[in-house]
A and B are shown apart, each in its own frame.
Chain A
């Protein structure tokens, strides 16, 4: 536990010593604001809820897309940088387990996203000022959004363990995440049903972050959805440890 925290602290310092964290937070806030207020015409939808009303994506509705590019940008350095600098050799010859290193790094990057997400609180205040939103739904939206970011980050952890090149790690992570979005993206599933059995479409959609994020942000905190995000993280981090072990073995 102590070792995980030591590594998380170091990584967080690293994020804030380089512009990565600031750039991410600023861009995230700008884009989240832009999409919410400009495109969804937040102010014109008389009733202020932070969640989706039918298919008009409001605040949280944009998050799967925002994260698609922003989260891999945060996570891409996680292991690539370690390999590029050779510090992985230092880190893994310390008296710590590889799992402590993997978790410590993962938690640090997750914390960066969490900070960005937390900084959207003015939006929350605004909607409470403008109307009478269901705050339970909003809290659910935040939890779902954080879980989704964690899932994307674990994918990025995995891709960054594969290569010393951050750009490659970024691109591969974006592609995998895009698949996870599209598998349950209504326009895509609508198209799929014209070719395939509905149960196949449902099965594919069950692997999508969209399917699970949607119900959470509607305020339904279903344990299955939470389980989905946790499983994605567990699976990807486990794969990360396998990749690192294979890389060490040569």
Chain B
């Protein structure tokens, strides 16, 4: 549904987006990650036709956004960053206005407004002026606007920004559910969100895609992915680490916490994690260490994110 090829955007001499390509199919939810200023919003603005790219092509469904913007725009629902809305309107008035711009009128319009008011829990503020809404409600109003025409493509720039935990949960559930039938792309700084919602994630840094894969794949790239974490209720840290580290197939072991004593062991090969875990288990039984728990680490997305996007650790991660 969304096809982006070699997208570039220069602001003056500065390249905000520098050669981004990806596709999102129906039934996919693509998470867009990246540090501040990476070019996420700029990319989304180009996809939705707000700003023209310096170079590259954008296809929405069968329509080229640059050559034939109107049919392409019809397919998209867009929640811009900071969720702008007309402050001099009421919630229902604003939603009605956007429904009209989406070509609805009369009963269809009324129904569409009712539907999104219910979906986004705006019932008790429907007659309130947007001006006087709290930030979260304002955000939800703009989110409601983006789904009012039940679009095939959804572009959401930080959709859970400013929402309370319950609402965050609701919006995630909603995105995941809608993602079964739509092509969704959304940006976020909350990494758990990516794991909870996305079928695929892209990390973008300084205008370039630096990682692209399922959340699981990405987590595998964490330095600790595949390491074995063991916890003992008691014990001598240095001694345990030394003995665990000496096991065959283990690169090194380090103490990461006292009380309970926690040791992380890195196997030579990630595929050997299970064997390593078994070996450590046997060692613990032999040495009579009070084993509390032992598991193979999946890796954490924030570690991946940091290792990929922090300049000083960059070399280490690609090694």
A residues bordering B, Cβ < 8 Å?
2-3, 6-7, 10, 13-14, 17-18, 85-87, 89-90, 92-97, 248-250
Q: Indicate whether B80 reaches chain A with its CB closer than 8 angstroms.
A: yes
Does the CB pair B100–A6 fall under 8 Å?
yes
Which residues of A sit under 8 angstroms from B78, Cβ to Cβ? 90, 93
B contact residues around A89 at 8 Å (CB): 45, 50, 80, 84
Question: A95–B104 Cα gap in the complex (Å)?
Answer: 12
Tell me whether A249 and B93 are in contact (CB under 8 A): no
A6-B97, A13-B93, A250-B51 given; A90·B74 CB < 8 A = no
Within 8 A of A (CB), among B256-282: none
Is there a chain A Cβ closer than 8 Å to B292's Cβ? Answer: no
Residue B98 is within 8 A (CB to CB) of chain A in the complex: yes
Contact B97 A250 (CB under 8 A): no
Q: Complex formed: what's the CA distance from A3 to B70 in Å?
A: 13
Q: Which of A3, A17, A89, A96 has the most CB of B within 10 A?
A: A89
Name B157's closest neighbour in chain A (CB-CB). A89
Binary interface encoding of chain B residues 280-295 relative to chain A, with 1 for a CB under 8 A from any of its CBs, else 0 = 0000000000000000
Q: Can you list 29 A-B pairs, Cβ within 8 angstroms, ordered by A?
A: A2-B100, A3-B101, A10-B97, A13-B89, A13-B93, A17-B88, A17-B89, A85-B84, A85-B87, A86-B82, A86-B84, A87-B84, A87-B86, A89-B45, A89-B80, A90-B142, A90-B145, A92-B49, A93-B73, A93-B76, A93-B78, A93-B80, A95-B70, A95-B73, A95-B74, A248-B50, A248-B51, A249-B51, A250-B11
Beyond the given pairs A92-B49, A93-B50, A93-B76, 14 more chain A to chain B contacts, judged by CB atoms under 8 angstroms and listed by A's residue number, are A6-B97, A7-B101, A13-B89, A17-B89, A85-B85, A89-B50, A90-B78, A90-B85, A90-B145, A95-B103, A96-B101, A97-B70, A249-B52, A250-B51
Q: Which residue of B lies closest to A20 (CB)?
A: B88
* Contact pick for B80, options A2, A90, A95, A248, CB 8 Å: A90
Q: Measured between alpha carbons, how far is A94 from B75 in the docked complex, in Å? A: 10
Given A6-B101, A94-B98, A95-B103, A85-B86 contact (CB < 8 Å): yes
- Contacts of B74 on A, CB cut-off 8 Å? 95
With the chains together, A69 CA to B315 CA distance in Å?
62
* Contact present for B101 and A87 (CB under 8 Å): no
Residues in B neighbouring A14, C-beta threshold 8 A: 86, 88-89
Q: A6 vs B98: C-alpha distance in the bound complex, in angstroms?
A: 9
Tell me the minimal C-beta distance from B103 to chain A in angstroms.
7
Q: Does B252 contact A (CB under 8 A)?
A: no
Asked whether B9 is an interface residue with its Cβ less than 8 Å from the other chain, the reply is: yes
Minimal Cβ-Cβ distance residue in B for A97 = B70
Smallest beta-carbon distance B128→chain A, Å: 13
**Chain A: which residue is nearest B16 at the CB level?**
A250
Secondary structure of the A contact surface, majority rule? helix
Give complex CA distance A96, B103 in Å. Answer: 10
For A250, the chain B residues whose CB sits under 8 A away are 9-12, 51
Q: In angstroms, how far is the closest chain B Cβ from the Cβ of A94?
A: 4
Please list the 6 inter-chain residue pairs (A to B) with the smallest Cβ-Cβ separation, ordered nearest first: A86-B84, A95-B73, A93-B48, A95-B74, A94-B101, A89-B80
In the bound complex, CA of A248 to CA of B51 (Å): 5
Chain B residues lying within 8 Å of A7, measured Cβ to Cβ, are 101
Say how far A24's CB is from chain B's closest CB, in angstroms: 15
> Is residue B306 contacting chain A, with contact meaning CB distance below 8 A?
no
Q: With an 8 A cutoff between CB atoms, is B102 at the interface?
A: yes
In the complex, are the beta carbons of B145 and A18 less than 8 A apart? Answer: no
Chain B contacts of A2 at CB under 8 A?
100, 103
Which residues of chain A have C-beta atoms less than 8 A from B71's C-beta? 95
**B42-56 Cβ-contact flags toward A at 8 Å (1 or 0):** 000100111110000
Name the residue of chain B whose CB is nearest to the CB of A247.
Answer: B51
CB-CB < 8 A to A96: which residues of B?
70, 101
CB distance from B11 to the nearest CB of A (A): 5
Q: How far apart are the CA atoms of A3 and B100 in the complex, in Å?
A: 8
Bound: A157/B284 CA distance, A: 78
- With CB as the reference atom, state the residue of chain B lying closest to A98: B69
CA distance A86 to B73 in the complex (A): 18
- Distance of A95 Cα from B102 Cα, bound (Å): 7
B102 CB, nearest partner CB in chain A, Å: 7
- Residues of A near B86 (CB, < 8 A) are 10, 14, 85, 87
Report the separation of the CA atoms of residues A14 and B93 in the bound assembly, to the nearest whole angstrom.
11
B41 closest partner in A (C-beta): A89
